[in-house]
């Protein structure tokens, strides 16, 4: 599915199979979640996407040698700047993102920088793994930054908070969510 311009419908298209470049691997897409960020790109709320573009950054794919890998939003970084060298690659000034500046997973095949792919454990279903490659990563990072706090507060309640809430409760933490008027239904549904 290809986005040719912001604020236009994605369309089905036949493209040549992608060819992996240096450091990339070819993946047959098994599942790809739809993230709110995909909608932001399609709606033109994120400037300067690569066009035409294959959206999708919650990819579970399989390599030619049978490995199942996950491909997240962060798709490439320089590897040499101070952020990359300190483990904060998401702040790299040259970073490129899957489904935004790099073609994503709303396709049969995709290529990805192997440095940013995650092995998916055997027995973990593709459809359950895909959302973890965005909301799960964001949520886990936030939970990790909270340290061993016994009380966790959420401002807003989207997919990341939904996942982290489950993990925090499993760990025995108390969870508090703060939402705007009218958002309470999303929180109650996530409990």
Look up the CATH number of the domain holding residue 36: 3.90.180.10
Query: Does residue 14 share a domain with residue 80?
Result: yes
Q: Are 190 and 162 in contact (CB under 8 A)?
A: yes
**H or E stretch covering 36:** helix 36-42
The rounded distance, in Å, linking the Cα atoms of 59 and 110 is 9
Assigned domain for 131 exists: no
Query: Does residue 142 share a domain with residue 120?
Result: no
pLDDT at residue 190 is higher than 80: no
Assigned domain for 132 exists: no
Query: Does residue 61 share a domain with residue 103?
Result: yes
The rounded distance, in Å, linking the Cα atoms of 46 and 43 is 8
- pLDDT (tens digit, 9 = 90+) per residue, 152-183? 988 877 888 888 999 999 999 999 988 888 76
Query: Does residue 119 share a domain with residue 142?
Result: no
- pLDDT (tens digit, 9 = 90+) per residue, 32-54? 999 889 999 999 999 999 999 99
The rounded distance, in Å, linking the Cα atoms of 145 and 164 is 12
pLDDT at residue 1 is higher than 90: yes
What is the extent of the structural domain holding 157? 137-190
Query: Does residue 89 share a domain with residue 65?
Result: yes
Query: Does residue 162 share a domain with residue 68?
Result: no
Whole-number CA gyration radius for the chain:
18
Query: Does residue 151 share a domain with residue 105?
Result: no
Collapsing DSSP states into helix, strand and coil, what is residue 56? coil
Instruction: Give the residue among 148, 153, 156 at the shortest CA–CA distance from 172.
Output: 148
Query: Does residue 92 share a domain with residue 10?
Result: yes
Assigned domain for 152 exists: yes
Instruction: Give the residue among 148, 156, 154, 163 at the shortest CA–CA distance from 179.
Output: 156
Query: Does residue 60 share a domain with residue 150?
Result: no
Assigned domain for 166 exists: yes
The rounded distance, in Å, linking the Cα atoms of 144 and 48 is 32
- Label residue 29 exposed, middle or buried (CB < 10 Å: 0-12, 13-18, 19+): buried
- Taking residues 49-74, what's their average pLDDT? 97
Share of the chain above pLDDT 70, in %: 95
Residues 6+ apart with CB under 8 A from 66: none
Domain final residue, candidates 124, 159, 175: 124
Q: CA angle, 116 as apex, 140 and 120 as ends, to 5°?
A: 65
Query: Does residue 117 share a domain with residue 63?
Result: yes
Assigned domain for 186 exists: yes
Phi/psi for 23 (5° steps) reads 80, 0
Residues 6+ apart with CB under 8 A from 140: 163, 164, 167
Q: How confident is the model at residue 191 (pLDDT cuts 50, 70, 90)?
A: low
The rounded distance, in Å, linking the Cα atoms of 189 and 191 is 6
Query: Does residue 88 share a domain with residue 34?
Result: yes
- Give the number of domains in the chain: 2
């Amino acid at each position: 599915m290809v986005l040719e311009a912001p604020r236009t419908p994605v369309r089905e298209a036949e493209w040549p199979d992608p060819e992996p470049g240096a450091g990339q691997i070819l993946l047959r897409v098994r599942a790809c979640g739809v993230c709110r960020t995909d909608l932001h790109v399609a709606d033109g709320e994120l400037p300067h996407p690569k066009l035409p573009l294959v959206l999708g950054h919650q990819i579970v794919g399989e390599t030619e040698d049978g490995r199942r890998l996950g491909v997240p939003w962060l798709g490439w970084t320089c590897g040499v700047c101070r952020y990359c060298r300190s483990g904060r690659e998401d702040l790299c000034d040259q970073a490129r993102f899957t489904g935004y500046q790099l073609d994503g997973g709303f396709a049969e095949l995709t290529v990805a920088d192997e440095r940013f792919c995650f092995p998916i454990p055997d027995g973990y279903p593709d459809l359950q793994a895909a959302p973890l490659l965005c909301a799960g990563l964001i949520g886990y990072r936030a939970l990790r930054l909270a340290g061993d706090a016994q009380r966790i507060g959420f401002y807003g309640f989207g997919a990341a908070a939904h996942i982290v809430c489950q993990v925090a409760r499993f760990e025995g933490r108390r969870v508090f969510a703060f939402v705007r008027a009218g958002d309470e239904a999303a929180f109650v549904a996530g409990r």
